Amino acid sequence: MRLLHYLRALNAIVGRELLRFLHQRGRFVAALVRPLVWLFIFAAGFRSTLGIAVIPPYQTYILYEEYITPGLVGMILLFNGMQSSLSMVYDREMGSMRILLVAPLPRWYLLSSKLLASTCVSILQAYVFLAIAYLYDIQPPLLGYLEVLPALVLVGLMLGALGMFLSSFIKQLENFAGVMNFVIFPMFFLSTALYPLWRLQESSPLLATLARYNPFSQGVELIRFALYGQFNRYAFLYTLVTMFIFLALAIWGYNPSKGLMTRRGR
């Protein structure tokens, strides 16, 4: 196989995902409505309670809306990662996933290309949300919009790989919602997306410990630091390692000779 074949396959997979996203306008609107509701209503309701606080990495006084904005960006990446796994379950039932996986290219490359395609869609949605938040007077440094891009890519790949792994053992499309509810909501609410870790520590040390080792928390912290021009090395390494673990599990799960798909057939 030549390099041209790999690039052509990548272009086809990413292009198909982008076209599907453009044709599903309701998916785009739904992806934005959810975090905007949290930003405009939830944050406004808690402003009187939390007010402003000194929160790392800023070491300055910021509004609660400014704090949770990176967490809501992480929410977009989380839900879109799970949505992409839903499309993989649908493609598997329709037979198009089988056609993709029997292509004369390494399986890991095909799955990685699919993962990259869903991440591109997630990043597009995240930047649209940041633009709306900017109009809402949540304005991080302009350079932060560029510096946050690598963080968005890494976190999007990590969450997409998790969704891909979960899709490998979901038998039917009807079972998807139940499985996702046991993944999305615990990961989101048991994280630092809405409250800083020291607040959780004051409430419950156990919850703070679980939130500290939650991969979504580290992804949110990576985005939060990057958006304000800082680099969180621990969050970066944690997210990177977790991404490779989830991707390896997804590749194993979609391996017809070793993965979960074979076990279901047996």
Residue 174 DSSP code? G
Q: Counting beta carbons within 10 angstroms of the beta carbon of residue 41, is it exposed (0 to 12), middle (13 to 18) or buried (19 or more)? A: exposed
Does the pLDDT at position 153 exceed 90?
Answer: yes
State which H helix or E strand residue 2 sits in: none
pLDDT in tens, 158-201: 999 998 888 877 766 666 667 777 888 889 988 988 888 877 88
Q: Does residue 1 or residue 207 have the better pLDDT?
A: 207
Q: Give domain limits for the chain.
A: 3-265
- Give burial (CB, 10 Å; 0-12/13-18/19+) of 54: exposed
* Predicted TM-score (pTM) of this structure: 0.84
What pLDDT is attached to residue 254?
A: 79
Question: Cα 126 from chain centroid?
Answer: 10
pLDDT of residue 50: 45
> Which of 43-47, 104-108, 204-208 is predicted most confidently?
204-208
CA dist., res. 98 & res. 246, Å (int): 21
CA distance 63 to 140: 12
| Residue written as token pair 């979504």 | 216
Pairing between β-strand 52-54 and β-strand 61-63 as defined by DSSP bridges = antiparallel
Report pLDDT for 107: 77
More confident residue, 108 or 213: 213
Q: Is 20 helix (H, G, I), strand (E, B) or coil?
A: helix
Task: For residue 63, list its beta bridge partners.
Answer: 52
- 183/206 Cα distance (integer angstroms): 19
Is 55 a residue whose pLDDT tops 80? no
Give the residues across from 107 on adjacent strands. Answer: none
